[in-house]
Amino acid sequence: MNHEPPGRGDARVPHVVIVGGGFGGLWTTRALASADVRITLIDRRNHHLFQPLLYQVATAGLSSPDIAAPLRHILRSQRNVEVRLGEVVGLDPAARRVALADGDSIGYDYLLLASGAAHAYFGHDDWAGDAPGLKTLDDALHIRRRLLLAFERAEASDDEAERAAWLSFAVVGGGPTGVELAGTLAEIARKTLRREFRRIDPAQAKVRLIEAGPRVLSSFPEELSEKARKQLQKLGVEVVTGTPVNAIDERGYTLGDTFVPARTVVWAAGVAASKLGALLDAPRDRAGRVQVLPDLSVPGHPEIFVAGDLASVQQDGKPVPGVAPAAKQMGAHVARAIRDRIAGRSTAPFRYKDYGNLATIGRMAAVVDVHGFKLSGLLAWWFWLAAHVFFLIGFRNRVIVLINWAWAYWSYQRHARIILGDREE
């Protein structure tokens, strides 16, 4: 499909091409619903994913459709947008066209790159096979499969050392994702699976959270980091800080100098910007994020914008974090900037409003930091629950997730403990 780009000053409706249907891209799309523009939203996948709850799918607490909704469905009533399933592989800023993997090219008047971030292994991409990361639904299902299979393999094993290795789990990275994964994994081992095995005692599983820096949740105030550490330890997670992981293979990992046998390692330690950033001739930071101007456009290209995890924005000397609210706010700002461009107005610089930080630790514990107002424990957990359900897209999704959690809360059970993925075997 080849769209002719409208010329400059043409009376035709401006064409806005948005790459990425995550929080950034979707928020720009919706904010332009009543603008006199034509929008093409391109994504490699057919759904918008509520990433903050991805760890729930990875730990079998929710199923994929609970936290995702088809982009076409979300945008069905917005007549000025067309959704295109496809992958952008090339960009020609002079001709104002993006090239897709299937051979098509699409012309634009305005372009937004909001393709997010992917896992980064600090130069050790060979670790990816043995230590999967958690960015997409397929990642989550892969991790889920490995977690559940580990207990099955332990049960079937006759060898003491082999069984111990299958019951050893490590989560690398002490940010919110790592904390959430480790806490939930410990709960699964100690509570959910408790009566279900005959040869092994799942509660004997060793769950270790490894953070190279001095504390977990480093983006939170120190006292909340400390509370989180305590809550994790109470759940049975061994928290190791100040030591990096130096090697990972299928038998285990090396912590500092020591090799630790562990058949399941999950990577939550680093993200790098989507490769699409490299398509622009624009300055990028060490993680590959595009260093945008204050209005979120690319230096030298006022018609190209970047939002979300792909953008590097400094505010008051600190980088704007790669979190969902930031992506949404950037998305809304880009929509304003595009409207301004069309109307010939100037655009105010982007200002990120930090509404606070939340991370859940386990069934009934979390830490919350909102404008210095700190919560931890059960109250924080209710706050976290309310916020996440509220921000889920789709009434039905909210009802289902609430029911699943009410059930899980009541029974410690996890709804989605199904091992899939053996079609090729």
Active site residues: 180
Which one of residues 19, 41, 68, 98 is an interface residue with a copy of itself (CB under 8 A)? 68
Judged by DSSP in three states, 122 sits in coil
Contact call for residue 125 and a copy of itself (CB under 8 A): no
Q: Could you say which DSSP state residue 284 is in? A: B
CA–CA separation, 104 vs 65, rounded Å? 30
- Give whichever of 348 and 418 is closer to a copy of itself, judged by the CB atom: 418
CA–CA separation, 389 vs 358, rounded Å? 13
Which of 141-149, 215-223, 238-246, 296-304 is the region at the interface with a copy of itself (rule: CB under 8 A)? Answer: 141-149
The count of C-alpha atoms lying within 13 angstroms of the C-alpha of 413, restricted to the half-sphere facing its C-beta, is 11
* Site mask for a copy of itself (CB under 8 A), range 207-246, x = bound: ----------------------------------------
Asked if 114 and 20 count as a contact pair (C-beta separation under 8 A), the reply is yes
Which one of residues 156, 278, 379, 386 is an interface residue with a copy of itself (CB under 8 A)? 156
The count of C-alpha atoms lying within 13 angstroms of the C-alpha of 86, restricted to the half-sphere facing its C-beta, is 22
Shortest separation between residue 424's beta carbon and a copy of itself, angstroms: 9
Contact call for residue 124 and a copy of itself (CB under 8 A): no
Q: Could you say which DSSP state residue 48 is in? A: E
Which of 60-68, 226-234, 327-335, 361-369 is the region at the interface with a copy of itself (rule: CB under 8 A)? Answer: 60-68
Q: How far apart are the first and last CA of the chain?
A: 37
CA–CA separation, 64 vs 53, rounded Å? 10
Shortest separation between residue 137's beta carbon and a copy of itself, angstroms: 6
Judged by DSSP in three states, 289 sits in coil
Shortest separation between residue 89's beta carbon and a copy of itself, angstroms: 13
- Give whichever of 265 and 375 is closer to a copy of itself, judged by the CB atom: 265
Which one of residues 47, 119, 227, 328 is an interface residue with a copy of itself (CB under 8 A)? 47
Which of 114-122, 249-257, 365-373, 403-411 is the region at the interface with a copy of itself (rule: CB under 8 A)? Answer: 403-411
CA–CA separation, 296 vs 344, rounded Å? 17
Which of 79-87, 229-237, 259-267, 302-310 is the region at the interface with a copy of itself (rule: CB under 8 A)? Answer: 79-87
Contact call for residue 393 and a copy of itself (CB under 8 A): no
How many of the chain's residues bind a copy of itself (CB under 8 A)? 58
For 162, 320, 350, 360, 401, the CA distances from 325, given in Å and listed in that order, are 44, 10, 13, 17, 20
User: Closest Cα partner for 245 from 178, 171, 189, 184?
Assistant: 171
Q: Phi, psi at residue 171, to the nearest 5°?
A: -115, 125
- Give whichever of 87 and 226 is closer to a copy of itself, judged by the CB atom: 87
Burial of 129 (0-12, 13-18, 19+ CB in 10 A): exposed
For 165, 337, 355, the CA distances from 187, given in Å and listed in that order, are 19, 46, 29
Residues 281-320 that bind a copy of itself (CB under 8 A): none
Contact call for residue 398 and a copy of itself (CB under 8 A): no
Shortest separation between residue 263's beta carbon and a copy of itself, angstroms: 15
Residues 329-368 that bind a copy of itself (CB under 8 A): none
Contact call for residue 147 and a copy of itself (CB under 8 A): no
Q: Could you say which DSSP state residue 164 is in? A: H
Shortest separation between residue 200's beta carbon and a copy of itself, angstroms: 11
Residue with tokens 């469905």: 73
CA–CA separation, 193 vs 200, rounded Å? 10
Pairing of β 290-291 and β 311-312: parallel
* Site mask for a copy of itself (CB under 8 A), range 183-212, x = bound: ----------x-xxxxx-------------
CA–CA separation, 129 vs 196, rounded Å? 29
Q: Which residues would be at the binding site for a copy of itself (CB under 8 A)? A: 1-2, 44-47, 63-66, 68, 70, 72-73, 76-77, 82-86, 102, 104, 136-139, 141-142, 148-149, 152, 155-158, 193, 195-199, 396, 399-400, 403-404, 407, 413, 415-423
